Amino acid sequence: MSPEHAPVVEAVGLGRDFTVREGRFPRRRRRTVSAVRDVDLTVHPGEIVGYLGPNGAGKSSTMKMLTGILTPTSGRVRVTGLDPSRERTRLASRIGVVFGQRTSLWWDLPLWDSLALTRHLYRVPADDHARRLAELTGVLELGPFLSTPVRQLSLGQRMRGDLAAALLHGPRLLVLDEPTIGLDVVSKSTIREFLLRLNAREGTTILLTTHDLGDVERLCERVVVVDRGGIAYDGGLDGLRASVPAPRVLVVDLAAPAPPIEVPGGHCTRVEGPRQWLELSANPARVISEVAGAHEVVDLTLREPGIESVVAALYRAGSPSAV
Amino acid sequence: MRVYPAVFALGLRRYSAYRAATFAGLLTNCVFGVINALVLLALFAVRPQINGYDSGDAVTQVFVAQSLIAAVAVMGPPLDLDERVRSGAVATDLLRPVSLTAWWLFDDLGRAAFQLLFRSVPTFGVGALLFDLRLPDCALRWTAVLASFALAVVVSFGLRYLYALSGFWLLDTRGVWAVAGLLGPVAAGMLLPLPLFPAAIGEVLRLLPWASMVQVPADVLLGKDTLPGGGVPGGLAVQAAWAVVLLALGAWTATRATRRVVVQGG
């Protein structure tokens, strides 16, 4: 395969064990814990892949192995054709990484200084750097705070600064670990729109972990759900919805409070005064006519399962202990 | 690689942001310099010669020590790396396409350059105004002093880098610093000139790398024949040797640390 079409990320049987020491001396014992187990993951150029999983599922450990700062204990991994942990510094020039809870910017200096340093860091020609900096400053609206020390930036501003720093050298792959964590709605949407544009215009491959299902619904055509270290689902967002039996819900407003409704194909799960929630297991039209025949109905709403309930159901199915 | 000069420049600029702290530190150095000098003058009034040191040597060393206190950071502060290892932020350092050791070396050299200019020079100037210091009499000797101060800074980085890297195994370097911050100034000859120690203890302390941060630079400035090889070139050679050994050990430890040890935090 030509380099442009070769997978950007290729992991086979990737795993990472940690040795945990327990107890006090002299009864100290060692126990091996698998943070990541047997992960197979292939990401092709131009994809946006969402990497989901509950806390402790091994998402960050996987990202650390893909970027070379954690050495796998089993399996094989190639990122842009390189072995991340052995060729970490070479790989660093080809990828951009943002950890939402960390910053790569110089804390006590103006944002501009950190961005200027990336030119030397990645040996970008001065013209290219100036052009990309101008572009990113425009799209990410960095202008107003370029000369502000990083420690004085708001979280949203700092995040945009970190994104710019990760992208100034034009990486082929952008790895984002919880990029919208702690951001307000407007900042989240600014960053999502920016990532979509980046992916569309430059074909940058994006791999992101997140707990924010808004990120997933807006950005990802493909999602990978990990649980207890292994992969629980890998495929399209629609397929994810179909893979878990998350029922549709009919919300019924009655004229007056009534005992919980039970009809064929509809099972009441919640009552709040005159409003009742029915979980549907049959054709909604039939359930609606049944309900309308037996009660005086003021209003009806049919709710599709949100991706949130789908993922929650998937986590529960995969691991009774997690969540 | 032009990235390292850029890191050096940023390290220097970072410290220029804290002017009030610089001035307060400078004042402290001068006050302690005067107090220590007066104490030692009182001592030498009773015993004019101790292990080949006289009052002029001792007072000069007091001001060398006070001048270097900030630049060699023998009592701290730690490198920013310590905190980054503890919090896991070191992950972002490892994502740069550069050597971790060189990155932090140049960042720290930038810091030290600032401290040499704005703490060492004024402190030593104040000392020279108030006391009769023994000063080199030619440009060559002054050049040797500058080289010795520069090497002191590199040795200091080498030690503090190792302290910081211990955090990869110990998870927190505050314990290391509690010990190093106490014993370092003693072994460096910062608390008291090493010649004032009992000869056997002084000789042992001179063999350790900490002596390269204060005692050796002071001896180079004074042109003492107690230096290894009987003079200034020997002193510079010892400092250079420690600088090379510590940097090599640091680079090796860093490789092991990043291979074997976990980066903390989710």
Q: Which residues of A touch B13 (CB under 8 A)?
A: 109, 113
Contact B7 A117 (CB under 8 A): yes
pLDDT of residue B265: 47
Q: Is the four-CA dihedral A192, A195, A199, A204 of positive or negative sign?
A: negative
- Rounded distance between C-alpha atoms, residue A85 and residue A218, angstroms: 32
| Closest approach of A30 to chain B, Cα-based (Å) | 16
**Is the Cβ–Cβ distance between A194 and A215 less than 8 Å?**
no
Contact A122 B97 (CB under 8 A): yes
Whole-angstrom CA distances from A195 to A96, A175, A206, B23 are 13, 11, 8, 46
pLDDT of residue A4: 66
Contacts of B53 (CB under 8 A, 6+ apart): B193, B195, B196
Instruction: Give the residue with greater pLDDT, B140 vs A282.
Output: B140
Q: Which residue of B has its CA nearest to A63?
A: B266
Whole-angstrom CA distances from B218 to B50, B58, B66, B101, B123 are 16, 9, 11, 28, 15
Closest C-alpha among A55, A78, A60, A80 to residue A70:
A60
- Amino acid, res. A114: S
Predicted TM-score (pTM) of this structure: 0.84
Instruction: Please tell me the total number of residues recorded for chain B in this structure.
Output: 266
pLDDT exceeds 50 at position B266:
no
DSSP for A153-199, written as a single string: S-HHHHHHHHHHHHHTT--SEEEEESTTTT--HHHHHHHHHHHHHHH
pLDDT of residue B260: 65
Starting at the earlier edge strand, list the strands of the sheet with A297-303: A262-263, A266-272, A275-280, A249-254, A297-303
Weakest mean pLDDT among A28-32, A38-42, B239-243, B258-262 = B258-262
Average pLDDT of chain B is 92
- Confidence band, pLDDT 50/70/90 cuts, at residue B41: very high
Closest C-alpha among B164, B197, B169, B26 to residue B82:
B164
Contacts of A59 (CB under 8 A, 6+ apart): A51, A52, A53, A177, A209, A226
Give yes or no for a cis peptide into A26 (omega within 30° of 0): yes
Q: Which residues of B touch A121 (CB under 8 A)?
A: 3, 96-98
**Is the Cβ–Cβ distance between A37 and A94 less than 8 Å?**
no
Q: Locate all alpha helices (DSSP H) within chain B, ordered by sequence.
A: 3-16, 19-46, 55-72, 80-87, 90-94, 100-115, 121-130, 139-170, 174-188, 199-207, 215-222, 232-260
How is residue B108 written in tokens?
A: 């720290």
How is residue B20 written in tokens?
A: 């009030």
- Rounded distance between C-alpha atoms, residue B136 and residue B170, angstroms: 45
Segments of chain A assigned E as strands: 9-22, 29-43, 48-52, 74-79, 95-99, 173-177, 205-209, 222-227, 230-236, 249-254, 262-263, 266-272, 275-280, 297-303
Q: Which residue of B has its CA nearest to A93?
A: B97
What is the ipTM score, two decimals?
0.82
Mutate: best of A60, A69, A79, partner B, most B CBs <10 A: A69
- Residues 124-183, chain A, touching B (beta carbon < 8 A): 149
Return the DSSP state at B119: I
Weakest mean pLDDT among A192-201, A242-251, B235-244 = A242-251
pLDDT of residue A18: 82
pLDDT exceeds 80 at position A60:
yes
Task: Over range A192-207, report the average pLDDT.
Answer: 93
pLDDT tens, residue by residue, A220-263: 989 998 887 788 889 988 887 777 666 788 899 998 888 888 88
- Confidence band, pLDDT 50/70/90 cuts, at residue B29: very high
- Amino acid, res. B137: D
Half-sphere exposure of A98 (CA within 13 A, CB side): 26
- Rounded distance between C-alpha atoms, residue B41 and residue B33, angstroms: 12
pLDDT tens, residue by residue, B44-63: 999 998 888 999 999 999 99
- Rounded distance between C-alpha atoms, residue B250 and residue B14, angstroms: 24
pLDDT of residue A322: 35
Q: Which residues of B touch chain A, with CB atoms under 8 Å apart?
A: 1-3, 6-7, 10, 13-14, 17, 88-89, 91-92, 94-99, 258-260, 262-263, 265-266
- Rounded distance between C-alpha atoms, residue A252 and residue B64, angstroms: 85
Instruction: Please tell me the total number of residues recorded for chain A in this structure.
Output: 323
CA angle B100, B175, A60 (to 5 degrees): 45
Phi and psi for B39 in degrees, rounded to 5? Answer: -60, -50
- Confidence band, pLDDT 50/70/90 cuts, at residue A2: low
| Closest approach of B114 to chain A, Cα-based (Å) | 15
Contact B10 A117 (CB under 8 A): yes
**Is the Cβ–Cβ distance between A209 and A52 less than 8 Å?**
yes
pLDDT of residue A59: 87
pLDDT of residue A30: 81
pLDDT exceeds 90 at position B1:
no
How is residue A283 written in tokens?
A: 């054709």
pLDDT exceeds 80 at position B64:
yes
Q: Is A211 helix (H, G, I), strand (E, B) or coil?
A: coil
Whole-angstrom CA distances from A281 to A301, A308, B249 are 16, 20, 68
pLDDT tens, residue by residue, A63-98: 999 999 888 989 999 999 999 988 988 999 999 999
- Rounded distance between C-alpha atoms, residue B257 and residue B29, angstroms: 36
**Is the Cβ–Cβ distance between A141 and A101 less than 8 Å?**
no
pLDDT tens, residue by residue, A126-153: 999 999 999 999 988 999 999 999 999 9
- Rounded distance between C-alpha atoms, residue A130 and residue A124, angstroms: 10
pLDDT of residue B55: 92
Q: How far is CA A178 from the centre of its chain?
A: 6
* β-bridge mates for residue A39, sequence order: A14
Q: What percent of chain A has pLDDT over 90?
A: 42
Mutate: best of B22, B94, B95, B104, partner A, most A CBs <10 A: B95
For chain A, how are helix, strand and coil distributed in percent, rounded to 5?
Answer: 35, 30, 35
Contact A109 B91 (CB under 8 A): no
Contacts across the A-B interface (CB distance below 8 Å) = 69
- Confidence band, pLDDT 50/70/90 cuts, at residue B263: low
pLDDT exceeds 90 at position B135:
yes
Contacts of B18 (CB under 8 A, 6+ apart): none
Q: Which residue of A has its CA nearest to B97?
A: A89
Instruction: Give the residue with greater pLDDT, A307 vs B16.
Output: B16
